[in-house]
Amino acid sequence: MIDFIFSNPLLAALIALVGLSLIFGAILGFASERFKTEGDPIADQICDLLPQTQCGQCGYPGCRPYAEAIADGERINRCPPGGEATIQALASLLDVEPLPLDEDVGEEKPKSYAFIREDECIGCTKCIQACPVDAILGSAKHMHTVITSECTGCDLCVEPCPVDCIDMIEVPVTLNNWQWQNPAKANDLIATDRGQS
């Protein structure tokens, strides 16, 4: 049998190539089982950078769906709550050019939280249903209130309120959350670059 194979170069070539392919196929099959990945890891990293307001201003039902859309090539400038900082972070993560915030989806507002004027609240529960992060407490025909630390400032509860008793209040700057302003961009620092643009 072996003599027969050796005396037939064509057969030997065929067997060698097919055998090689089979071995390599087995190795790859084993590796694909061994190194299996669940989900889309890049979408996880994008989701970590998004502000998690779940506000839906980007046109997606929450931050996670938007992160998956970005991983599939959606533009990165559709997140008003995250604003400039989020766009910069996404741009450096994905190695793309940072774009200015898309005007269609709204503008960047200072971080704020919802406040219910409690004596005007009629207890209709509509804002509770609208809240994406369950930050509003209360039940039917009883006064509602907002857990400030849970509120992401997404504005979604303002619209459904029939008596307009919800205010958006800016988070005050205190010693705990005050930050230095970002320095000017590198392009603006160098005189010759400024002259060009």
Stretch of 33-41, 59-67, 102-110, 113-121 lying at the interface with another protein (CB under 8 A): 33-41
Taking CB under 8 A as the rule, does residue 20 contact another protein? yes
The encoded tokens of residue 18 equal 């097919």
Strands 136-137 and 145-146: antiparallel
Q: What share of the chain is helix, strand, coil (3-state, %, to 5)?
A: 40, 5, 50
**Per-residue mark of binding to another protein, 75-114 (x: CB under 8 A):** ------------------xxx-------------------
Give the type of residue at 170: E
The encoded tokens of residue 6 equal 């050796």
The number of residues that bind another protein (CB under 8 A) is 27
58 near 70, Cβ under 8 Å? no
The position carrying tokens 């409690």 is 118
Taking CB under 8 A as the rule, does residue 27 contact another protein? yes
Taking CB under 8 A as the rule, does residue 189 contact another protein? no
Nearer to another protein by C-beta: 54 or 86?
Answer: 86
Q: Distance between CA 6 and CA 8 in Å, rounded?
A: 5
Question: Which residues contact another protein (rule: CB under 8 A)?
Answer: 6, 9, 12-13, 16-17, 19-21, 24, 27-28, 31-32, 35-37, 41-42, 45, 93-95, 186, 192-193, 196
